[in-house]
Structure 1
Amino acid sequence: MDIDSLVARINELARKQKSTGLSEEELVERAKLREIYLGNIRNNFRQQLDSIEIVDDDKGKGHQGKLKH
């Protein structure tokens, strides 16, 4: 499931929750979709952090590598 359809389904379930409420199956689906979405956000953020280049002004050299977690 691509991110756009994932967000669309989460939003659809949110609107339904506000209007009529969700069934037990829909609550489970919403929880799973939210976990997928958050996992995607975490992975993207980790990739951004891993691509950061640290520059040491004293030596004038760039250091490329993974940051310690």
Structure 2
Amino acid sequence: MLSPDKISRINELSKKSKSVGLTIEEAKEQTSLRKEYLETFRSSMRSTIENVKVVDPEGNDVTPDKVKALKEKKFLN
């Protein structure tokens, strides 16, 4: 998870870019922070999906094969 300070800075830079614009240094910082945020988000989402088990109303496991394969691969490593 990204620290609250970094998220606050992302929001601050976004507001500034919409109102008065960013300096070159601020634009680089914004790009870097956004990249870090996306990496963190994707990692978290990937972890969530890898740990999901899908069950139909009858109680049958209908988890997609791709997710099952990821679980097995993760378990074996």
- Say which is worse superposed, 47-56 or 2-11, in terms of deviation: 47-56
Change (3 A) 1:4 1:37: same
Alignment-derived partner of residue 4 in structure 2? 4
Write 1 or 2 for the structure with the bigger share of helix: 2
Counterpart position of 1:66 = 71
Structure 2 match to 1:35: 35
Bigger mean CA deviation after superposition, 46-55 or 15-24: 46-55
Deviations 1:5-52 (CA, angstroms, capped at 9, x unpaired): 121001110111122210001100000000000011101101101111
Q: Which structure 1 residue ranges, 5 or more long, are not aligned? A: none
Report how many aligned residue pairs link the two structures.
63
Bigger fraction of residues in strand: 1
Percent pairwise identity: 38
SS at match of 1:53: coil
Q: How many Å separate the matches in 2 of 1:54 and 1:15?
A: 40
